[in-house]
Homo-oligomer: A and B are copies of this chain.
Amino acid sequence: MSARAAIKTAIVGASGYAGEDLVRLLLAHPHADLVEVTSRQYAGQTLAQVFPKFSHYPRAKALSFTEPNAEMVEKPAEVVFLALPHGVAAEFAVPLLRAGARVIDLSADFRIKNADTYEEFYAHEHPAPDLLQKSVYGLPEVYRSEIKNAALIACPGCYPTSILLPALPLVRDHLIEPTSIIADSLSGVSGAGRKVELDYLFAECNESMRPYGVPKHRHLSEIEQELSKAAGKKIVVQFTPHLIPVNRGILTTIYCAPVLDFKSDETFAKFSERIDTCYRKAYGNDTFVRLLEGKALPDTKNVVGTNFIEIAWRLDHRTGRLIVMSAEDNIVKGTSGQAIQCFNIMFGYPETAGLI
């Protein structure tokens, strides 16, 4: 492990759920030093005042929120995490990169390689298209080596993480027909962010289950980009998110058609083995991907508050389909924890540093 001093880190937009979770992870991180947090709303207050639960960290008592300003962009920390809405993040990334910071962006701004696709899904022109090719999609289990040297990380969305980790190995290994992918996802309400809107009031969400964003959710842009890349051809995915009354967690159920008919007992066993091998090859060394065994099925309560993702699958010999299920914490593995995992890779720390 590195003997070098802790890395100076800043968070721009530290008062949303993702930002708050970054604060939690960085305050406890053995190799990070949180030196700057911004928030228009809380400028002038200390971290401890805004989040009393962090008040046992001396740094939380010492560090005050500032308004985002020119100085922090011109003389930035070594790493700057952007926990900002899409569109806004790019405005900060450009000067920060110019000033030499490494940027880990949690927004959607640098996830899409094609500026037209970005505009199609996000309904505004991309503010910094030049950077799209330079950014690295921060899915550690897939882009570990690119992340290591990246100046700009585009952390994946929470839904895409829950879909890509289970689906990519199958597509890469040509085990399924990529156009057959249907992803049905359930998300806790924190996924909407700390947005003060009627739809997210307690009494509107509790004892409610509902689909939304049907049929063209924004996250499809990055899901399809990554699956198309793995498939070697452009593919279109079916995706339906649902809002569920839990604070945290995403449960995804993926339906897909294997490339071969496995309904006989013999082919069933063989194909099962191929899937098993595929996942072990992909994630056998990945601490944070938990491949479930036996009768176990994913359950968000087993991963909430952690950077783990659980994955299980079943072949259905009646329908000929493969069903893959995953469970993650939308804010940790789906957002901030994954960002810290990228940070660890970027600076040569164990991937689990500050996360277990």
Which residues does A use to contact B, with CB under 8 Å?
Answer: 17, 28, 49, 52-53, 55-56, 182, 184, 186, 188-190, 194-198, 200-212, 214-216, 236-238, 240, 242, 244-249, 251, 253, 255, 287, 290, 292, 294, 296-306, 308, 310, 314-316, 318-319, 321, 323, 325, 327, 356
Contact = CB atoms under 8 A, between A and B. Distances in A.
A314 B215 contact: yes
Contacts of A298: 210-211
A305 to B, nearest CB: 7
Contacts of A308: 53, 56
Max count, chain B CB within 10 A of own CB: residue among A202, A246, A310:
A202
A203 B194 CA distance: 8
Contact of A202 (B200, B216, B292, B325): B200
A304 B318 CA distance: 33
Given A209-B244, A215-B319, A249-B209, A196 B198 contact: yes
Contact of A248 (B28, B207, B240, B299): B207
Number of copies: 4
16 contacts: A17-B203, A49-B294, A52-B292, A53-B302, A182-B182, A186-B186, A186-B242, A190-B203, A202-B206, A206-B206, A207-B301, A209-B246, A210-B299, A210-B327, A238-B321, A255-B255
Contacts of A53: 302-303, 306, 308
B356 A253 contact: no
Contacts of A315: 215
B249 A216 contact: no
Closest 8 CB pairs between A and B?
A: A215-B316, A208-B301, A210-B299, A209-B251, A189-B202, A202-B205, A184-B184, A53-B302
B210 A238 contact: no
A206 B247 contact: yes
Contact of A238 (B52, B216, B255): B255
Contact of A242 (B248, B253, B292): B253
B251 A300 contact: no
A195 to B, nearest CB: 8
A318 B216 contact: yes
A204 to B, nearest CB: 8
B318 A215 contact: yes
Given A190-B203, A202-B206, 8 more contacts: A56-B356, A194-B201, A201-B202, A207-B300, A209-B249, A211-B253, A214-B297, A237-B319
A108 B33 CA distance: 43
B194 A196 contact: no
A307 to B, nearest CB: 10
A347 B3 CA distance: 30
Contacts of A201: 189, 194-196, 200-202
A246 B245 contact: yes
